Amino acid sequence: MDLNYSPEETAFRDRVRDWLHENLPTDLRDKVSNYRELSREDLIGWHKTLARQGWVAPEWPVEYGGTDWSVVERYIFEEEMGYAGCPPLVPFGLRMCAPVLFRFGTDAQKQRFLPRIYQGDDFWCQGYSEPGSGSDLASLKTRAVRQGDHYVVTGQKIWTTLAHYADWIFCLVRTDASQSKRQEGISFLLIDMKTPGITVRPIILMDGGHDVNEVFFDDVTVPVENLVHEEGKGWTVAKYLLGHERMGTGRVGQSKRELQQLKEVATQHLKDGRPLIEDARFRDRLTRVEVELMALEITNLRFLDQLRGGRPPGAEVSMLKIKGTEIQQSISELMMQAAGPFAQAFRPVDNMDFDHFTARLAARYCNMRKTSIYAGSNEIQRNIIAKATLGL
Ligand SMILES: Cc1cc2nc3c(=O)[nH]c(=O)nc-3n(C[C@H](O)[C@H](O)[C@H](O)COP(=O)(O)OP(=O)(O)OC[C@H]3O[C@@H](n4cnc5c(N)ncnc54)[C@H](O)[C@@H]3O)c2cc1C
């Protein structure tokens, strides 16, 4: 097994690094590094910059704009973006809906939606979860009744990330409630968010931010041509998509950058008159996270080596999700410890410096709790690993 980059891969990394250095706007990088909320324009603007460079969808087939990079080059690109402090590429169109369309879409659906996803003309969101149907997704109740050449959709989705920015939503809906097996009778629909009968209601998370929403459907008319794959076979589509969702939740590059920031904060802030970074107990916790991050990176590279050899990843994707999100959470905890009272956003007073970075840390800590819940909670990921390795 070779876990080192080849000279060509190192040259590729340098090329990506230089390009990001020249093309990532400073204000955007500062927003990301300071954990400030990104607007629709921020997200789309960065998407379009990458689309112009031809780098927005490396994993897509070349005829649709893919780069034909190796898996290692794709990984390097991903990590460099995280390390540089780029805004995240919103995955719902690029990495969820598009792979589904490549695999299950009609030619007409591919022609209509894929170029617009690539260019960032349509903003997508994911309508899977419902109240009471998160981990137990197959119990979903949103109903779609066929009436001639359209479906009428009624029900509710919840935790829909960025639905307030979205032009389109892909949804799992129940088209046949009479099936004894709950996974059957579910269909996958593409729904225009401007259709009458759709209401988006914000859910404000405990960090005060607006990421997620409730989405209500009241007799929403959806043309039958927006059905992906066969009616009643949406569960096959759903499972295919979830595999894609869990790839890339490790976020090694982002965690490396944050670890660096953590060290800086711990160097500036004092405990008993000495920089916190010199405190043995703090160093112990910091080092543990750093070692875990190194182990995650090596695990990532190990999987890449398998992929290079043509072996697709299986349940191990769940391992990356669990460890990656635990590390992100640990870093946010240590940041709080390092910044102490400065981690709270308070009004600056005359004799006190106001640090915009540390003032966002308490909110960041709260926000990071989500990572072990979304994209399938970490408990569910452990069940997947247990099933795959122990056959439970
Ligand atoms: C910030 C955020 C963004 C999200 N974005 C989206 C989105 O864009 N689109 C979308 O469709 N959904 C989204 N979700 C929803 C997410 O997928 C669900 O929250 C998640 O699947 C958990 O479902 P639930 O909330 O219903 O909790 P539940 O399934 O009720 O779980 C509650 C607790 O019980 C545990 N649990 C449940 N079943 C088991 C089991 N069998 N074994 C062991 N433990 C179990 C869970 O791990 C969890 O700790 C988002 C969630 C969050 C927090």
pLDDT at 249: 72
Pairing of strands 198-203, 227-228: unpaired
Catalytic position from the list 73, 80, 130, 245: 245
Q: Which amino acid is at 219?
A: D
Alpha carbon nearest to ligand 1 atom 13, residue: 159
CA 132 – ligand 1 centroid, Å: 9
CA distances from 135 to 89, 130, 380 (A): 25, 10, 7
Amino acid type, 103: R
Give the residue whose CA is nearest to atom 39 of ligand 1.
380
Q: Identify the pLDDT of residue 353.
A: 63
DSSP state of 220: E
Specify the 3-state DSSP secondary structure of 270: strand
pLDDT number for residue 75: 85
The DSSP secondary-structure symbol of 370 reads G
pLDDT at residue 392 in the model: 65
Residue nearest to ligand 1 atom 2, measured at CA: 374
Ligand 1 first shell, C-beta below 6 A: 125-129, 134-136, 159-161, 211-212, 370, 373-374, 376-377, 379-380, 383
Q: What is the pLDDT of residue 350?
A: 55
The residue to mutate among 95, 129, 191, having the most atoms of ligand 1 within 8 angstroms of its beta carbon, is 129
Q: What is the pLDDT of residue 331?
A: 97
Q: What is the pLDDT of residue 181?
A: 94
Residue 349's pLDDT is 54
User: Ligand 1 center to residue 65 CA distance, Å?
Assistant: 33
- What is the mean pLDDT, run by run of 10 residues, along the chain of 392 residues? 80 97 96 92 98 96 94 88 94 94 97 98 98 96 98 98 98 96 96 98 94 98 98 94 71 93 92 92 96 92 73 78 96 94 71 74 94 94 90 72
| Residue 380 alpha carbon to ligand 1 centre in Å | 9
- pLDDT for the residue 31: 94
**Cα–ligand 1 centroid distance for 371 (angstroms):** 10
Residue nearest to atom 12 of ligand 1 (CA): 129
Q: Pick the residue whose CA is nearest to atom 27 on ligand 1.
A: 134
Task: Pick the closest to residue 142 from 128, 122, 160 (CA basis).
Answer: 128
Is residue 63 annotated as part of the catalytic site, yes or no? no
pLDDT score recorded for residue 220? 98
Question: pTM score, two decimals?
Answer: 0.93
Best residue for ligand 1 mutational test, from 97, 157, 159 (most atoms within 8 Å of Cβ): 159
Q: How is residue 347 annotated by DSSP?
A: -
